[in-house]
């Protein structure tokens, strides 16, 4: 009984140790926010940085504003998740192709690096000319932004299989497909997830920021941010930024939890303290 209670307390302690530090940082940040807004800024300039309660009241508690924000977020989330899905599908396929033949890797990898170093967002006007400014182009931009980490993570994972394990499969006459399916892909999963989490974050940023360049079509949350800024609606602007951040955080958590579920039982990477 006493032991069970002790274990319960330790479990609570562990949970508290995990949540308290970031919570403390949040409280400090809100405190600084209040201080800047109420003490530093002149009342007639306060509209530039309204205090937190004003942001919550106008941005989240007002039904119309909230509905507008959530609708924008839904559209951006749609673009981000489809873009990510395309990036994952294409990325894993590319990585598998590159892992099967060095010449494929040698031919393609430089262009992937170019893609990674080119500011894809700067190409949005061009894509707009070619494909229009609709949903499909937004997804394409998102996918291009999110592609590289998936390819790099998957390729690294596929290549990191121990030589002795390859020998094992050679010894028993395993062909390319069997080796890929039963050895390389499962072994690559932890690295795939590492790439996936980076890509997921990029796809969210891509979906929101590319809105600034599109400025057309159905407004995602990026378009709303742009609009609030031009109308000096600071409360809604800050609410949109907070909502975007929360969405990014939720995506990060989701993929962390997915990684833990899929590879946590056998791989250390999914159990690191920072791995949520």
Partner 1 sequence: MTAADGGRGVAADPRTAALTFAGVGLRYPGGTRALDGIDLSVAPGEFVSVVGPSGCGKSSLLRIAAGLQAPTAGTVTGRGESVGYVFQDATLLPWRSVRANVELFGELRGLGREERRKRAAEALDLVGLADVAGHRPRTLSGGMRMRVSLARSLTLRPGLFLLDEPFGTLDEITRERLDDDLLALFAARRFAALFVTHSVLEAVYLSSRVVVLSPGPGRVVGEFDVPFDYPRPAGLRFDPEAARLAALVSACMRGAAAP
What is the closest distance, in whole angstroms, from the C-beta atom of residue 168 to partner 1 in the complex?
A: 6
275 binds partner 1 (CB under 8 A): no
Shortest reach from residue 174's CB to partner 1, in Å: 5
Query: Distance (Å, rounded) from C-alpha 146 to C-alpha 195?
Result: 9
Q: Does 29 bind partner 1 (CB under 8 A)?
A: no
Nearest to 91 by CA among 138, 144, 140: 144
Whether the Cβ atoms of residue 141 and residue 83 lie closer than 8 Å to each other: yes
Residue number, 75 or 179, with CB nearest to partner 1? 179
Contacts of 25 (CB under 8 A, 6+ apart): none
Near partner 1 in 161-220, by CB under 8 A: 162, 164-165, 167-174, 178, 182-183, 186-187, 189
For partner 1, which is the closer residue by CB, 187 or 257?
Answer: 187
Q: Based on CB atoms, which residue is closest to partner 1, 165 or 216?
A: 165
- The residue among 189 and 205 lying less far from partner 1, judged by its C-beta, is 189
24 touches partner 1 (CB under 8 A): no
Binding residues for partner 1, total number by CB under 8 A: 21
Residues contributing to the site for partner 1 (CB under 8 A)? 162, 164-165, 167-174, 178, 182-183, 186-187, 189, 263, 265-267
């Amino acid at each position: 009984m006493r032991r069970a209670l002790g274990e319960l307390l330790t479990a609570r302690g562990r949970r508290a140790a995990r949540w308290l530090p970031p919570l403390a940082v949040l409280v400090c940040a809100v405190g600084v926010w209040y201080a800047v807004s109420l003490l530093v800024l002149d009342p007639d300039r306060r509209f530039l940085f309204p205090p937190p309660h004003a942001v919550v009241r106008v941005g989240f508690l007002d039904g119309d504003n909230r509905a507008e924000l959530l609708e924008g977020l839904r559209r951006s989330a749609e673009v981000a998740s489809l873009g990510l899905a395309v990036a994952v599908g294409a990325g894993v396929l590319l990585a598998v192709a590159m892992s099967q033949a060095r010449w494929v890797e040698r031919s393609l990898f430089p262009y992937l690096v170019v893609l990674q170093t080119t500011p894809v967002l700067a190409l949005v006007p061009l894509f707009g000319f070619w494909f229009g400014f609709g949903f499909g182009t937004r997804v394409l931009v998102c996918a291009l932004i999110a592609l590289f980490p998936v390819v790099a993570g998957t390729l690294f994972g596929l290549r990191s299989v121990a030589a002795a394990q390859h020998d094992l499969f050679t010894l028993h006459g395993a062909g390319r497909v069997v080796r890929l399916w039963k050895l390389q892909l499962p072994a690559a999963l932890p690295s795939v997830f590492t790439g996936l989490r980076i890509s997921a974050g990029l796809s969210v940023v891509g979906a929101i920021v590319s809105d600034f360049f599109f400025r057309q079509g159905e407004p995602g949350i990026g378009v709303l941010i742009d609009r609030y800024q031009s109308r000096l609606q600071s409360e809604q602007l800050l609410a949109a930024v907070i909502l975007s951040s929360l969405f990014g955080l939720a995506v990060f958590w989701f993929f962390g939890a997915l990684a833990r579920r899929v590879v946590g039982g056998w791989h250390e990477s999914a159990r690191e303290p920072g791995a949520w």
